[in-house]
Amino acid sequence: MKTLEQQLAGYAAYHRDRRNILTHFVGIPMIVLAVAILLSRPGMQSGGL
């Protein structure tokens, strides 16, 4: 089993990849926008509850 230090080193190395940075650059703002839109919508009733 890997130590926490080894796992964090692998995670850090993976997140320095150019493709990963690009997908985060595009994807994270899209997620934030989607959450903001969903939270700004009027409430919906579910089965009269």
Helix (H, G, I), strand (E, B) or coil at 1: coil
Domain-located, residue 45: no
* SS3 state of residue 17: coil
By the 8 A CB rule, do 20 and 14 touch? Answer: yes
42 located within any domain: no
pTM summary value: 0.59
> Which of 3, 20, 23, 2 lies closest to 12 in space, CA to CA?
20
Burial class (CB in 10 A: 0-12, 13-18, 19+), 38: exposed
Q: What is the pLDDT of residue 3?
A: 96
pLDDT of residue 14: 80
Cα–Cα distance measured from residue 31 to residue 34, given in angstroms and rounded to the nearest whole number:
5
In a domain, 32, yes or no: yes
- On whether residue 46 sits in a domain, the answer given is no
Residue 47 lies in a domain: no
Query: What was the pLDDT predicted at 44?
Result: 66
Q: What pLDDT does 29 receive?
A: 96
Range of the domain at 24: 4-37
- When divided into structural domains, the chain yields a total of 1
10 lies in a domain?
yes
With respect to residue 44, please indicate whether it lies within any of the assigned structural domains: no
pLDDT in tens, 1-49: 899 999 999 988 888 889 988 999 999 999 999 999 998 887 766 665 5
Q: Is residue 15 part of a domain?
A: yes
